[in-house]
Chains A and B, each alone.
Chain A
Amino acid sequence: MNILVCIKQVPDSAQIRVHPVTNTIMRQGVPTIINPYDLFALEEAMRLRDEYGGQVTVLCMGPPMAEDALRRALGLGADRAVLITDRRFAGSDTLATSFALATALGKIAEERAIDIVFTGKQTIDGDTAQVGPGIARRMGLNQLTYVSAIDSLDMGRRSIVVRRRSEGGVQVLRSALPCLITMLEDSNVVRRGSIQDMLRAARAPVTIWSAEEAGVEDPLKCGLRGSPTVVKRVFAPSPREESAEMVTVEGKDPARIGEAIIDLIFARDPKLEVALTATAS
């Protein structure tokens, strides 16, 4: 099986700071990680490889330092890594990102046809969940999003059965390869890399392609110029006018605190008292 996993390098956003005066994002010194959602995709891909044979290639579009993320994926057990990096990719929105990734995937498929492309459900920075569907559409792959489990795979018939999270339940879908799967979080337990994989990862070559080498013919479809969306303004949310009215009760008697809270709630929303007593009686 030829399995591709798209992984994105993202800032560890718990540590993102915003400059208090200029309101800009301070990226300096912010550690980067593999987008956490993508690890579930990588794990599922490796599980299929371990069962059916073949290889898992990780693909990333990003700045040169994104090689780190790919090496970490190799350390977890991926077989091969491809980084597409080019100034012309800078400022890509999801349409331009899916164009660049689909083009590189097309180039990879020239060597050997791709059976499954995996992506994460979404990223923690852009957080759009649009890149997976974009790639599927461009490559004509059967699109299977929000997958919580792969029930079965029949390589002879090239058919696959998956569970897809939808509103109010789970759809059990039968589809066909080649397909694109966006994997739901917590759908598997991500392995720790073996010592051998870690050692291999440190030395393994990472294929690095420019836009041209990735097969991009029309650079106008990449980066800022290939992006229909434009971010016009970035700003901090305005703080609320007043802060909370504090309940003050002498002593620490919970019962009196409880009564005081209720008085204040009903003072602010008298109709709520009426509604609650009506349903309670």
Chain B
Amino acid sequence: MKKELPERFKDYKNVWVVVEIERGRVHPVSWELMGEGRKLADRLGVQLCAVVLGPKAASTKAAVKQTYHYGADVCYICEDAALTDYRNAPYTEILTDLVNKHKPEILLLGATPLGRDLAGSVATTLGTGLTADSTELRIDDDNSLAATRPTFGGTLLCTIYTLNFRPQMATVRPRVFAMPEADTTRAGRMVWESLRMKEEDIVTKILEFVADNTSSEANLAYADIVVAGGMGLQNEANFRHVKRLAQVLGGDYGCSRPVVQKGWLPAERQIGQTGNTIRPRLYIAAGISGAIQHRVGVEGADLIVAINTDPDAKIFEFAHLGVVADALTVLPALSDAFARRLRAPALAS
């Protein structure tokens, strides 16, 4: 396939990130994308632009301000009551309009329920390519976007291009890229646009929002310390050892997929290809064999510690520290030892 961009796409310029706001809260994946988008824009010598869609509200204004802190030069803003909660029709309409009017060459969204729902519609409307769940974004020598993503559950990687169409679209999962530092001194340009669609034209209505009652629990994907257990823990009751260590360390806990399939822990605790991607500072994996589908979800961790009875377990190929031992005795011992150590300096001072 030849790379030959049709004339009508030649003035497509700049890197765009769609900022995902649900119920007034910006999803951190948007800032992670801004961090990566900044690098792409610098490499291309173009501007980084954010798209902020939402109601006329303080939370929308706050999000706009933050886009500059995370690297945006320009922010495209549409404030409309019809954009209060995410719905496919009005969001697709406004984002498609913005793209057709301002012509970005790269358009990035989070691979979240919102981002995947919206990106699929917008790419189809524009007739352009969309690479899903990218784990690496790079600018090629000819300035086109090379998006790499895992395939077949992470056994292989493939690099995908959108050669002859613009914008080049990609989604990226939360936690694949690191959170950039905010620079609160930065500011930028604002461009307002309005939604052509009226509430009467929107078929789908929101009757209610039922918040998950996990507000007290930390968000696994964003936890600094994660302790996880696999089939090596043998039964549901033994997960108390995992939860206790997580608690002692002030972290969160998770598991491998078969644990969810057994019904020992709920699906939102799953880590890996078809679960959460995590990037903690410390990841402790107990009784997990380290299958590729698990590995792809934890590779961003700074320090991986594996406890497994099998010296040949795959997990020792990518863990930083390993111990061949029974997790059922080591986990409680580790919790006790940590509890002692962390208390000791406080007592001494």
Name A's interface SS. Answer: mixed
Shortest distance between the CB of B145 and any CB in chain A (Å): 11
Shortest distance between the CB of A273 and any CB in chain B (Å): 8
B-to-A contact residues, CB < 8 Å: 1, 20, 22-23, 25, 27, 85-89, 92, 112-114, 116-117, 119-121, 123-125, 127-133, 146, 150-165, 203-212, 249-250, 267, 281-282, 302-306, 315-326, 329-330, 332-334, 336-338, 341-343, 345-346, 349
Residues of A within 8 A of B86 (CB): 166, 171
Residues of A within 8 A of B338 (CB): 258, 262, 276
Q: A173-B204, A254-B330 are in contact. Are A95 and B124 (CB under 8 A)?
A: yes
Contact A269 B282 (CB under 8 A): yes
Residues of B within 8 A of A260 (CB): 323
The complex places the Cα of A165 from the Cα of B338 at a distance, in Å, of 38
Contact A277 B120 (CB under 8 A): no
Interface residues in A103-134 (C-beta closer than 8 Å to B): 124-134
Contact A254 B329 (CB under 8 A): yes
| 16 further contact pairs, Cβ within 8 A, besides A130-B116, A230-B163, A280-B342 | A124-B153, A137-B120, A164-B113, A167-B23, A173-B87, A228-B164, A233-B159, A237-B154, A239-B318, A244-B316, A246-B322, A254-B325, A259-B337, A265-B305, A277-B341, A279-B250
Shortest distance between the CB of A142 and any CB in chain B (Å): 5
**Which of A72-80, A143-151, A196-204 participates in binding chain B?**
A143-151
Is A189 located at the chain interface by the 8 A CB criterion? no
Max count, chain A CB within 10 A of own CB: residue among B155, B316, B346: B155
Contact A133 B124 (CB under 8 A): yes
Which residue of B has the minimal Cβ distance to A236?
A: B156
Max count, chain B CB within 10 A of own CB: residue among A125, A144, A233: A233
Can you pick out 7 interface pairs between chain A and chain B where the beta carbons lie within 8 Å of each other?
A: A16-B155, A134-B121, A165-B113, A174-B205, A240-B318, A258-B336, A262-B334
- A172-205 CB mask vs B (1 if < 8 Å, else 0) is 1111100000000010000000000000000000
- A238-264 CB mask vs B (1 if < 8 Å, else 0) is 011001111100001011011111101
Is A229 located at the chain interface by the 8 A CB criterion? yes
Is A136 located at the chain interface by the 8 A CB criterion? yes
A-to-B contact residues, CB < 8 Å: 13, 16, 18, 23, 25, 93-95, 98, 124-134, 136-138, 142-146, 161, 163-176, 186, 227-237, 239-240, 243-247, 252, 254-255, 257-262, 264-265, 268-269, 272, 276-277, 279-281
Residues of A within 8 A of B319 (CB): 243-244
Contact A127 B332 (CB under 8 A): no
Shortest distance between the CB of A136 and any CB in chain B (Å): 7
Q: A144-B204, A231-B160, A252-B325 are in contact. Are A129 and B320 (CB under 8 A)?
A: no
Contact B113 A145 (CB under 8 A): yes
Contact A127 B117 (CB under 8 A): no
Residues of A within 8 A of B113 (CB): 145-146, 164-167
Q: A98-B124, A255-B336 are in contact. Are A243 and B316 (CB under 8 A)?
A: yes
Q: 9 tightest A-B contacts by CB? A: A133-B120, A281-B346, A228-B129, A244-B322, A254-B333, A128-B132, A229-B129, A258-B337, A258-B333
Contact B114 A265 (CB under 8 A): no
Residues of B within 8 A of A272 (CB): 281-282, 303
The complex places the Cα of A47 from the Cα of B5 at a distance, in Å, of 48
Contact A168 B1 (CB under 8 A): no
Contact A129 B162 (CB under 8 A): no
Contact B337 A247 (CB under 8 A): no
Shortest distance between the CB of A250 and any CB in chain B (Å): 13
Max count, chain A CB within 10 A of own CB: residue among B27, B124, B153, B209: B124
Contact B205 A173 (CB under 8 A): yes
Contact A129 B212 (CB under 8 A): no
Contact A229 B131 (CB under 8 A): yes
Contact B317 A240 (CB under 8 A): yes
Contact B321 A245 (CB under 8 A): yes
The complex places the Cα of A174 from the Cα of B209 at a distance, in Å, of 12
